[in-house]
A and B are shown apart, each in its own frame.
With several copies, the nearest count.
Chain A
Amino acid sequence: MNALLKHRLTWPVLALVLLLLLNQLFRADFLAVRVQDGHLFGSLIDILRNGAPTILIALGMTLVIASRGIDLSVGAVAAISGAVSCTYIYNSPDPSSFRTAAVAVVIAVAVGLALGLWNGFLVSVVGIQPIIATLVLMTAGRGLAQLVTDGQIISVSNDSYQAIGAGFFLGLPISILIAAVAFGVAGLLTRRTALGTLIEAVGINPVASRLAGLNARNITWTVYVFSGLCAAVAGLMISSNVTAADANNAGLYIEMDAILAVVIGGTSLAGGRYSLVGTLVGALIIQTLTTTVYTLGIPPEVTLVFKALVVIIVCLLQSSKARALLGRRRRPVTEQSEVKVSI
């Protein structure tokens, strides 16, 4: 029991469950999932499908944060990726073929990787502070996306493309399947290889890692590239879900959601230890929160306040837990600082 209380995931999971029950309370069939024209249908499915982009981006964000960085540009990257792919499809000779969609996806992913490289370059080689380095792309990115779509909203109709964000496979939303795969891959990559440990090492003590002979630079670089990749795929989901690219609004504020997800998941922004599963739970909490607002019919004026309250409660639970733990561990000062030290 005590061990359970101590576990970093207990509180987030609890919060998620409570949120779902709350919804169930207001709408008896909330948790119900029925099959409708061949695929699963219901609020839970919606939560998963709409949550997929956030989950994906939060995944990339987790590694970035573990390395003591942060990536504010994810929203913009998502927008660009959507813009690029849709514009390509829009202008291609046969805008509805599978091939076109495939090429569009490849291009978008490539762009995402490139942008990730750029971020990583600024941070690890040039040595600009992550929040600034990525802030640059965060602002410029929207501009770029607008240039691509030249200020218009590009809508496409291509079933294969639409499938990415709105399609189903074996009854499950394809988007969530993609996210799941990404998670699996990331999990393996970081745990089966040493990457995870190395990232943590760099995040905790860059000096030590360098003295230990690690190539901090490449590790840092890698995480930003990965984050860019995740953002690009998320961008595909978002645009394909609405079969259109909106340079201004696609993935707006998603970076904040992702960061929140990571933190709610119990990863410290000071870098170091991280938990992918935690992030997953965090992202789901945030998505469920949005849905809750609509199920409960919370008046628009107080929506933001409501959301903020929930977030703060989760954080409080966690940190009070942290404080409780202080009692048991050895070097409280450090502990405490860990909570404080960090932006």
Chain B
Amino acid sequence: MNEIVPVVAMAGISIEFPGVKALDGVDLRLFQGEVHALMGENGAGKSTLIKALTGVYAIDGGTITVMGSDHRFTSPAEAQAAGVSTVYQEVNLCPNLSVEENILLGREPRRRGGISWKEVRRKAREVLGQLQLGHIDPGSVLSSHSIALQQLVAIARAVQVDARVLILDEPTSSLDADEVQQLFAVIRTLRDRGVAILFVSHFLEQVYEISDRMTVLRNGKLVGEYLTRDLPRMALISKMIGKEMDALAELEDAEGRRQSDRTQDAPFMQAEGLGRKGSVRNVTVAIHAGEILGLAGLLGSGRTETARLLFGADRSDQGSLRIGGTVRTLRTPRSAIDRGIAFSSENRKEEGLIGDLSVRDNLVLAMQASKGWLRRIPRATQDQLAEKFIRALDIRPASKDALIRNLSGGNQQKVLLARWLITNPRLLILDEPTRGIDIGAKTQIQKLISTLASDGMSIIFISAELEEVLRLSDRIAVLKDREMVADLANDGVTMEDVMTIIAGTNA
């Protein structure tokens, strides 16, 4: 590929937010026909750099050259017009519009003045097809789909136009293996068509699989630009975290956790054929104290919905649920929380963050809620808790008073996790808890989960990363087509085993 003139060249970019210097003299070059990975820890400045490029944020310093000419976008609209197509980190679509409307929003095909809805449908189908999403109905309302699917729709929207630059900010954070492969297929075709692609992900293997070149950021500063093939993983990791650290080794000893079997003592929670009309069916699981139950399944298999049922976020209308031996119907999350159940949602933006409140308020919210409004947690205690968890999960910026919406995606996720850890529940349901979290923090959190379990907390663990599930769980429940199809003890279960179960049952 020719490297003469970069399609996009950003030089010495600086952006300062009150309190934080998000970017400090960062350079980035995108060449056509190349996949460029933007690497860095949570809060390193990846998303900010992207927003600086697409004109969401004005830059305080530096220059942006697009197609050779000095150029600065003042609005996302301009960037789009200039052929820069972006998928931002937080799914930013209109939940009440249909899938097709979302995909073609603002560029509806026109015929004779009016727009032709036939054409809209056709184009939507076409691009969904490319992403192997032919099965979803373009006319269906977006909000009826899981966050993962919504993310795919956002991607579809981005690849639908023939752009010269395609920017993907953590597109794979909640996709599982197959979707990732489909996405990569699309990325490759685009790359071969000469599109310049900027790709952000915390999954090293994905980065190494797809990218040709990478730029590494640390604390808003540029570490360097490298050819992927010249930069071994360990080197990359140490460049990102800035110190020699054997992350993989850490992963190893996270894996080395004892296979405890607690099935003899009475289960904390027991679901019998639990289900809900139009949603999941026949969920039958028992969770014992100190046990980690992993939910495995493909995208849209009903893991989230199962979790919501067990938490009372949706009401079950089939089967029964026993908590501590007695039959209970969970009508509201509140009633679940009162029984020591906690649920951290996969949809952090809509179901997690209280954007305009501080990190502190967000941290203590759940605890405060269960205490009731009268018994306010003393400020001192709040601060202690906040500081404790900011340190424990290494949340950046390390300020209790920062508005949570100003935190980076990964750091927001950490805060929400902490919100539930504080309440120290008996059963902790984690739906994609490590979504968008960098490797360093991820290993921390995985360790944390194991320790919590060994201290007797029950945990239901959902992750799009099957390895992660297999590595952590004592037992694994497999879902398929929103129905539970298997529940196996994790004595060396492999990905293949799970896949065969999923494949097998439709025979």
**A and B form one complex:** yes
Task: Say whether A308 faces chain B, with CB atoms less than 8 Å apart.
Answer: no
Check: B354 CB closer than 8 A to any chain A CB.
yes
**Residues B92 and A205 in contact, CB atoms below 8 Å apart:** yes
Residues 301-327 of chain B: 1 if any A CB is under 8 Å from the residue's CB, otherwise 0?
000010000010111010000000000
Chain-A contact segment, one of B101-109, B175-183, B201-209, B223-231:
B101-109
The range of chain B's interface size is 35 or more
Q: Please, which residues of chain B bring their CB within 8 A of the CB of A212?
A: 76, 92-93, 105-106, 157, 333, 354, 365-366, 369, 419
- Chain B 125-163 near chain A by CB (<8 Å), digits 1 or 0: 000000000000000000111000000000001000000
Q: Are B278 and A198 in contact (CB under 8 A)?
A: no
Query: Which of B30-38, B192-200, B373-381, B493-501 lies at the interface?
Result: B373-381
Q: Would you list which residues of chain A between 176 and 212 have a CB under 8 Å from chain B?
A: 188, 192-195, 197-198, 200-201, 204-205, 207-212
Chain A residues lying within 8 Å of B62, measured Cβ to Cβ, are none
Nearest chain A residue, comparing its CB with the CB of B114: A192
Do the beta carbons of A207 and B369 come within 8 Å of each other?
Answer: no
Q: How many pairs of A and B residues are in contact by the CB < 8 Å rule? A: 180
Verify B373–A204 contact, CB threshold 8 A: no
- The reply to whether B17 and A208 contact each other, CB–CB distance below 8 Å, is no
Which of the 9-residue segments A81-89, A122-130, A152-160, A327-335 touches chain B?
A327-335
A332-B354 contact given A193-B114, A194-B115, A213-B77, CB 8 Å threshold: no
Please tell me the number of chain A residues within 8 Å of chain B, measured between CB atoms: 31
Which of these, B79, B94, B343, B377, contacts A209 with CB under 8 Å? Answer: B94
For A211, what are the chain B residues with a Cβ–Cβ distance below 8 Å? 56, 76, 86, 88, 92, 311, 313, 333, 343, 345, 351-352
Bound together, the chains give a CA A219 to CA B15 distance in angstroms of 30
A273 to B143, CA, bound (A): 13
Residue of A nearest to B348 (CB): A208
Q: Which B323-373 residues have a C-beta within 8 angstroms of A? A: 332-334, 337, 343, 345, 350-357, 361, 365-366, 368-371, 373
Instruction: Determine the distance from Cα of A334 to Cα of B115 in the docked complex, in whole angstroms.
Output: 30
Q: Which residues of A contact B143 (CB under 8 A)?
A: 330-331, 334
Cβ B95 vs Cβ A204 within 8 A:
yes
Interface residues of B in 400-434 (CB under 8 A from A): 405-406, 419
Identify the B interface with A (CB < 8 A): 15, 17-18, 56-58, 75-77, 79-81, 86, 88, 92-97, 101, 105-106, 108, 110, 113-115, 143-145, 157, 277-279, 305, 311, 313-315, 317, 332-334, 337, 343, 345, 350-357, 361, 365-366, 368-371, 373-377, 405-406, 419
Could you pull out 27 A-B pairs where Cβ atoms are within 8 angstroms? Answer: A192-B114, A194-B374, A197-B368, A201-B94, A201-B101, A201-B357, A205-B353, A207-B92, A208-B92, A209-B365, A210-B332, A210-B333, A211-B351, A212-B93, A212-B157, A213-B81, A214-B334, A214-B369, A272-B94, A327-B317, A329-B278, A330-B57, A330-B145, A330-B279, A332-B56, A332-B313, A333-B56
